[in-house]
Amino acid sequence: MSPYIIVADAQNFTAQVIEKSKEVPVLVDFWAEWCAPCKMLLPILDKLVKEYEGQFILAKVNSDEQKELAAQYGIRSIPTLKLFRHGAVVEEMMGVQSETVLREMIDRYRERPADKLRQQASAAHLAGDSEQAISLLEQAREMAPNYYPTLLDLAKILIDCQRLDEAQNLLHDLPPNVQMDAEVSKLMAQLNFSLIAAKAPPSLESRLAKNPDDLMARYQLSALKVLEGDFETAMEHLLELMRRDRSFEDDAGRKGLLAVFSLLDHEGALVNRYRGKMSVLLY
């Protein structure tokens, strides 16, 4: 038995799983002696426990012996894996899983040395020392080049500092599967609006008042409004772009609205209202 594998039961579950998960991820394996798939899963779990050396804890729960515990956590088939972090179940899987799938799940929640630097960088950025924050994140990046949360933190600060070309290169170099992440989509939207706003001349509102057909002024003003957090005004301008010319900047009005929806997590009364207005124009 490894020191990083525990036998969990109703008596020690709170201390060994719930409380321990506030320090490191705890992967709970609900199994039984008669379960052939459980035996197939065991060597994969053992390998990961040895490799990670305490970066997560494996808790074994015999479902036949711990019926109340199994019922409490809704175990209907075995093996069932439940990953606990910060006192709660954050992910669960049923059946035999590949080493790759399990590794990816654990990696999403384990603390890495780079995470401490990320925390320091966040504090430095909030304190106004963005250059120090960038330096810390570059150090974290060297420690784990493929750890994309570090790269996203760095991209956010680069955008805040108007180092837009660097942020753009960083985001475009992310793997395709990472680029599908909702957080990356939001960053790309923020970056694109920042790039548009960076080219805007002064006095856009008065310019647009004199010439409502100045589509570029309307487009740039919408980007400025997004960056100011005035999403409703921004979407109104983008909707007007759709009404006036769908071909402008390759359907910039529609694409801009979708980007704002992304920034707003695709939910809320404002998103629903403007999604409906956009649909009317489209169909």
User: pLDDT tens for residues 20-57?
Assistant: 999 999 999 999 999 999 999 999 999 999 999 899 99
Buried-exposed string 172-192: b where 16+ CB fall within 10 A, e elsewhere: eebeeebeeeeebbbbbbbbb
Given a cut of 80, is residue 1 above it in pLDDT? no
Q: pLDDT digit string (tens) for 85-101?
A: 999 999 999 999 999 99
Measured CA distances, 142 to 145, 146, 150 (Å): 6, 9, 10
Give 182 or 58, the one with higher predicted confidence: 58
Q: What is the DSSP letter of 23?
A: T
Measured CA distances, 40 to 32, 53, 59, 110, 281 (Å): 12, 22, 17, 24, 55
Query: Average pLDDT in the 96-120 region?
Result: 90
**Confidence (pLDDT) at 144:** 86
Active site residues: 35, 38
* Separation of alpha carbons 130 and 123, rounded Å: 9
Domains, the chain, in order of start with CATH, read 5-107 (3.40.30.10), 113-180 (1.25.40.10), 198-282 (1.25.40.10)
How many helical (H) and strand (E) elements, i.e. helices and strands, does the chain have? Answer: 15, 5
The tokens for 212 are 């409502």
Q: pLDDT digit string (tens) for 220-260?
A: 999 999 999 999 999 999 999 999 999 999 999 999 999 99
pTM value is: 0.70
* Separation of alpha carbons 259 and 77, rounded Å: 41
